[in-house]
């Protein structure tokens, strides 16, 4: 069975601090994709990134960076120099090759950035 | 304007009412999804449609009835709901056609309250 665990339920930091959101996943499939989505107060889930299981290269996009480590089954997300607009719930998710239509979401981490 | 539009944004209904949620995608996608998001629970996949055919039904009670008249529109018909059905209902769409194309794009959701 597949599972995504986001152990941090809520995180609160002061603006300009760096913050890392943890994600641990479980799957026996060798071909899978990992995702991060952002859900601001407006409700819409916004797609941030997708990474496939064969590409362990870390990625940076502006203030966002992702660290994928198959050895620890983790796909962590770091926001550098956080801003108030980063306040949202962040979801890590997993989909596997044999069940392409199904995305398994973690329970989310609520991030609050204080001015 | 987002690529996936949901109406209404908010809905209050009694347990004996019949109502429908509407979702429209403007992304040229072939697959559409309904999710339920309750407080303190992971997103729950309810239904999946691919090329207007229902391919997944995750043991959803019959008081929820989906309809997909074409690849751009998805409805969720509601009748005789229970208070525990109160939640945010999210619609998503993707290109379909396998895991490599399954990046799901979400609408802003309908916040449903059942009295």
Task: Please tell me if residue B113 touches chain A, with a CB cutoff of 8 Å.
Answer: no
The structure tokens listed for B92 are 């998503």
Question: Under a CB-based contact definition with an 8 Å cutoff, are residues B49 and B66 in contact?
Answer: yes
For residue A19, the distance in angstroms to the closest alpha carbon of chain B comes to: 22
Q: Is the predicted pLDDT of residue B18 greater than 90, yes or no?
A: yes
Task: Please tell me if residue B108 touches chain A, with a CB cutoff of 8 Å.
Answer: yes
What is the pairing mode between strands A109-114 and A59-61? unpaired
- In eight-state DSSP terms, residue A72 is G
For residue A103, the distance in angstroms to the closest alpha carbon of chain B comes to: 8
Put simply, the answer to whether B88 touches A43 (Cβ < 8 Å) is: yes
Put simply, the answer to whether A33 touches B107 (Cβ < 8 Å) is: no
> What does the pLDDT read at residue B23?
98
> What does the pLDDT read at residue B97?
67
Residue ranges in chain A whose pLDDT is less than 50: none
φ/ψ region of B51 (left if φ > 0, alpha if ψ in -120 to 50, else beta) reads left
**What are the distances in angstroms from CA B19 to CA A37, A39, A77, B14, B66?**
29, 26, 39, 10, 12
The structure tokens listed for B102 are 């399954």
Question: Under a CB-based contact definition with an 8 Å cutoff, are residues B107 and B92 in contact?
Answer: yes
pLDDT digit string (tens) for B72-98? Answer: 999 999 999 999 999 999 999 998 766
């Amino acid at each position: 069975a597949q599972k995504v665990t986001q152990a941090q339920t809520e995180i609160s930091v002061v603006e300009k601090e760096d913050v890392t959101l943890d994600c641990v996943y479980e799957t026996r499939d060798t071909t899978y994709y990992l995702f991060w989505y952002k859900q601001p107060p407006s409700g819409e889930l916004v797609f941030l990134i997708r990474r496939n299981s064969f590409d362990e290269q870390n990625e940076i996009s502006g203030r966002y960076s992702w660290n994928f480590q198959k050895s620890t089954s983790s796909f962590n997300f770091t926001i550098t120099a956080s801003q108030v607009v980063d306040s949202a719930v962040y979801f890590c998710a997993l989909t596997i090759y044999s069940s392409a239509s199904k995305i398994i979401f973690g329970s989310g981490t609520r991030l609050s950035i204080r001015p | 304007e987002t690529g996936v539009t949901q109406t209404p944004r908010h809905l209050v209904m009694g347990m004996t009412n019949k109502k429908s949620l509407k979702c429209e995608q403007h992304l040229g996608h072939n697959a559409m999804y309904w999710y339920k998001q309750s407080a303190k629970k992971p997103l729950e996949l309810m239904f999946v449609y691919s090329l207007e055919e229902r391919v997944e039904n995750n043991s959803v009670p019959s008081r929820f009835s989906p309809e997909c008249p074409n690849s751009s529109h998805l409805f969720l018909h509601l009748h005789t709901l229970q208070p525990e059905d109160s939640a945010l209902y999210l619609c998503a769409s993707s290109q379909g056609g396998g895991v490599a194309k399954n990046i799901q794009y979400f609408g802003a959701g309908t916040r449903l309250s059942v009295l």
